[in-house]
Each structure stands twice: as structure tokens, then as C-alpha cells.
Chains A and B, each alone.
Chain A
Amino acid sequence: MSLTSPLFFAFLAGVILAYHISESVPYRRLVLGFGNAIFIASYLTDYIQILPLLAFLLLGYACVSILSVWKSSLALGLAVLGVLACYVFLKRFSFFDDLGRLPFPYLTIGLSYILFRILHIMVDVHSGDLEERIGPTAFFRYTCNFLCFVSGPIQRYQDFRAADGIAVVKLDADAVFRAFSRVVAGYAKFVIIAAVAEYAFSFLKPQLFQAGDPSFARLCMLYAAAASLYTVYLYYNFSGYMDIVLASGVLLGQTLPENFDRPFSARSFLEFWQRWHMTLSQWFKFYLFNPLVMLLMSCFPAPALTAYLGVFAFFVTFLVMGVWHGTTAVFVVYGLLMGAGASINKLWQVACAERLGKKRYRTMTETLGYVYFARGVTISYFVLALTCLWTPELSDFTRLIGRLGPAGMSAAFAGIAFAFGLFWWLADRVAPRLAAPAFLATARDSLVGRNLTLASQMMVIVAVTALLHKSPDFVYKAF
């Protein structure tokens, strides 16, 4: 069921209500388990569509069970390979079309995130980090938690277990109000900002591909505007979704991990990924980057090489993370761009530190001009790289890039960097001065005031939903 549908609201209300009827842990686990099952079932039109997902879960559970008794590296290697192969087959990566496919349509939503959870359990069980035996129902509740099913956040099993049917969040009037208001804020991001940005984007995008001979300046502006709008759309759509998920989690006693931490305030590409889709990048750090660096360092122990091994490891990690986003060739380009961004970023840090010395480099990064320059460049790079996500066909992508040419790309890059840098400069200057007068703030924070504020946000959401002709959809479920 779509998160914006009234059906989802009714479902969520039902689960929350049922969950709080009793404090018995087995009962609550039962409620959550049924909730997950109903949620997944809502995507099905035929029982056969669930079979591949079930098989994938069973394979994962079998691997975990075997690893919990046979903790050999060989077993882990085989299990990882087996699960990955199954995933690649089910996800129908276009490169592996020759492998054949199942002869019926089936559910693939949530598969990527289930993969991350299963791999994490397998590795941790093998290394002894997860000593306890995971029961099949706990495994199901963890891998298929309906709140995180479609698009994360990717919670660690250790954190999940601590809250599984046990209310770890103590609810009081304020906590509940905060949760409600975060859900509403999430919908506002999702339905108002993201949908309006998408609306504007969907008008600009066709113009980029239209026949005819637009002027160079117009083309660059059009491209920069479309790419920026897509980024705004992606961020508000995804982070709004996360607000809804995390706040709903609070009402079910769960503390799910945050996925965004003001990513557009990042001053470097590497910092950006510490703030954007955080649980994904953390997963990759834990289970790909760290082991890879460790392996490289054991092979090449000279400290002077550290930075260069890092450049390489960043490249590989971001390449894999990029490729994971989609199943077509453009996503390899996306992966390469992500990898290049990360490694150029690291090389720049190394070069500056060597040339200026650590202290002077640090002083430089604190200067005002550098901060806004760095923010602008970081965002601009990401905005342009995201082009891959909105031109999933390689032919469209190359046509667009060809049309713009190196000059057009550079102009768009500089333009976006300048615009975002300027935006932040202005925002940092204006925002601190925008404080509501004390009496207004008091009125707003009073019981009546805050509930009316919430209600007016809801009113605007309903009105905007009615204004848009198509109901907004969650963009990240495709990845």
C-alpha cells in the first residue's frame, strides 16, 4: 500500500492500536509479525508473486542457521555468494539477462534492503558478534519490518532485538505530539515540496530532449534547473518518507536510525555521504570499505601508502553503492561518478594536507569563502551525478550529455555551485534573524496553538494533494 493512501493510515492506526492493547512481549511480537505480513500482502494480486521473496528469505535464514553452527570463512564466502547470486537473479540486472528469468511477475519491492539485512546478520553471526540463535519469526520481523520494508532505514539486528516487542521509547504527551507532528511534517515534505518540485521537473525534462535548436545559455539553464529540481524532489521525497517511518516507529516503541542529517550543509563529497542515506553508507562502511581497507593495508603496510589505498577503497565502495541503485548501464556510470567524486575528494584532502601542512589546510577549510565554495561544489557535483537517476536509458543519457557538451556541463556545474553557495551564504545570514516574537512563540507552543498549527499543516497538505492531478509516489522504492 502506498504511504500516501488513506488505506495506509488506517492500517498504521490499526497496528498501533493493537500493539498498545497489551504489554505482553509475545503478543506485541505477534502484532508486529501480522502487521508485516498484511503490509507485504497488500502489494500482491496473486499468491504466486510472493514465492520468490519467500525463497530469498528462506535461503537467507538457512545460511544464517548454518553459519551459527559452522563459523568457517569458507561457509561465509559461499553463503554470501549464494545470497548475492539469488538477489542478482531476482532483481533482473540487465547485464545478466542471459541467465533467464522466472516466467511470472513477482514482488521485488524491498528486496535490496532485505539483502543488506541478511548479509549483515551473516557476517555478524560468523564473527561471533551475534551469539544468540535467531528464531525464524524474529528473522521475519527483522528483515520485513513493514516500516522499513520499502526503503529502510537499515537497522542493525542488535538494535532491532533491543526493541523487538519491547517499548524502548517511553511515551508521554510531548513525545506523542512530536511523533504526530513529525509524521505531518514528513507528509508536507512528501506532498508539498517534493511533489511540486517533481511537477516543475516533469515540465522541464521533456524540453531538454525536444528537437530544435535552443540557445546554449537556455539549454544550460534548463539543464541546471531540471537537475536541481530533481535533487530537491529526491531529497524531500525520501527524507519526508523517512520522517513518516521514523515517527511511526516511535508510536510502536521503536527507535529506528536516522537516515539524513542536513546533507546539503556538507562541505565535501565524503561528508555529504555521512549525512545522506546514512544507514546505507554506514552499511557499506562496515561491510565493504573497512574490510577492504584492512585487506589492502595488510598487503601494503607502508604508512605512506595509506591515503592512496584509501582513494582506491573509496572508489570501489562508491562504485558498488552506485551500481546497486539500478539495473541498467547508466547506473554503472552513476557508480563511476560516485567513485570518482569520493576519490577526487580524498586526493584533494591529501594534496592540500601535503602542500599546506595539516594545520594550514584546516585553517583554510574554516575560512568563510572556502566553506561556501566547498558546499556549492559538493552539491553541484551530486546534483549533476544524479542525472543518471532520471535518465535510466543510456541512450537518453549520452544524448543529453552530448547535447550539452563539456562547455555546457561545466557551465551548469559552475552555475549550480554558485547558486547553492549563494543560497547557503544568504540562509546563514538571514536565518538567525528570523525569530518569532516571544508572545507568538508562546501562543504557538501552547496546547491549542500547537494542535492548530498541526491542523493547518494538514489542511494545506490535503489542499495540495487535491491540486495535483497525480498522487505522488515514493521515488526510492525503485532503487
Chain B
Amino acid sequence: MDQAQIYAKLTSVFRDVLDEDDLALTAATTADDVDGWDSLSHIRLVLAVSKSFGVKFSASEIGGLKNVGEFVELIQKKS
């Protein structure tokens, strides 16, 4: 899967979980930029991403994610 595909799929997961239909993601997007992306929905996002991409994340990976770019890189590395 190339980066564009991952972004597309990830955006739809984010929109779904956070219930924000006009959400757009870039590599630099952080939790502060997105309404409702808090520590709880972060875990929900991780669960949804794991399911839709078929990957698993470790504790330090989940805690260490700082922005969407890192998320995408991690998915790319794993899948």
C-alpha cells in the first residue's frame, strides 16, 4: 500500500471514529488540531486502525505517536 492509499483509508477511519465528516489529514496534523482527538478517542482510533489495516501496535508505539505522519509511517512499516 502506498502512502496516498494509507492517507485515504486513514482519513475515513478518523472521520468515522471522531464523527467529523469534513476532516482532512496531513502528516503534520496532531491531536491538538483535531476536535475530539483526546487520549480516549486516541485508543479508539488505534483499535479501528488495527482492525482496518490488520496491524497491531505496542504500548510504546501507541503512547509515542505524535502526529498523523508518524501514524502513517508506522502502518506502512507494519503492513
Q: Do A and B bind each other?
A: yes
| Interface residues of A, Cβ cutoff 8 Å to B | 120, 123-124, 127-129, 156, 158, 282, 285-287, 289-291, 293-294, 297-298, 303, 306-307, 309-310, 313, 358, 362
Beta-carbon contact of B39 and A289 below 8 Å: yes
Mostly helix, strand, loop or mixed at chain A's interface?
Answer: helix
Q: Which among A290, A291, A303 has the highest number of chain B CB atoms within 10 Å? A: A290
Q: A124-B59, A129-B60, A156-B60 are in contact. Are A294 and B43 (CB under 8 A)?
A: yes
Chain A residues closer than 8 Å to B61, beta-carbon distance: 129
Beta-carbon contact of B41 and A306 below 8 Å: yes
Closest to A294 in B: B43
| Interface residues of B, Cβ cutoff 8 Å to A | 17, 35-36, 39-41, 43-44, 46-47, 58-63
Q: Which among A128, A158, A306 has the highest number of chain B CB atoms within 10 Å? A: A306
Beta-carbon contact of A310 and B60 below 8 Å: no
Mostly helix, strand, loop or mixed at chain B's interface?
Answer: helix
23 A-B contacts, Cβ less than 8 Å apart? A120-B60, A124-B59, A158-B60, A282-B63, A285-B39, A285-B63, A286-B62, A286-B63, A287-B59, A290-B39, A290-B43, A291-B59, A293-B40, A294-B46, A294-B62, A297-B43, A303-B17, A306-B41, A309-B40, A310-B40, A358-B35, A358-B36, A362-B35
Q: Which among A158, A307, A310 has the highest number of chain B CB atoms within 10 Å? A: A310
How far apart are the CA atoms of A297 and B60 in the complex, in Å?
19
Taking the closest CB of chain B, its distance from the CB of A79, in whole angstroms, is 15
Q: A291-B59, A294-B43 are in contact. List 12 more A-B contacts (CB 8 A).
A: A123-B59, A124-B60, A127-B59, A127-B60, A286-B59, A290-B59, A293-B39, A294-B47, A297-B43, A297-B44, A303-B17, A313-B40
Taking the closest CB of chain B, its distance from the CB of A421, in whole angstroms, is 25
Chain A residues closer than 8 Å to B35, beta-carbon distance: 358, 362
Closest to A123 in B: B59
Beta-carbon contact of B47 and A297 below 8 Å: yes
Chain B residues closer than 8 Å to A310, beta-carbon distance: 39-40
How far apart are the CA atoms of A12 and B41 in the complex, in Å?
45
Q: Which one of B17, B36, B41, B62 contacts A290 once the chains associate, using CB atoms below 8 Å?
A: B62
Chain B residues closer than 8 Å to A129, beta-carbon distance: 58-61
Chain A residues closer than 8 Å to B44, beta-carbon distance: 297, 303, 306
Beta-carbon contact of B58 and A128 below 8 Å: yes
Chain A residues closer than 8 Å to B43, beta-carbon distance: 290, 293-294, 297
> What are the 6 A-B residue pairs with the smallest beta carbon separation, nearest first?
A127-B58, A286-B63, A310-B40, A293-B43, A129-B60, A129-B58
Beta-carbon contact of B60 and A286 below 8 Å: yes
How far apart are the CA atoms of A230 and B47 in the complex, in Å?
42
How far apart are the CA atoms of A293 and B63 in the complex, in Å?
12
Taking the closest CB of chain B, its distance from the CB of A190, in whole angstroms, is 31
How far apart are the CA atoms of A313 and B35 in the complex, in Å?
21
Chain B residues closer than 8 Å to A290, beta-carbon distance: 39, 43, 59, 62-63
Q: Which among B41, B58, B61 has the highest number of chain A CB atoms within 10 Å? A: B58
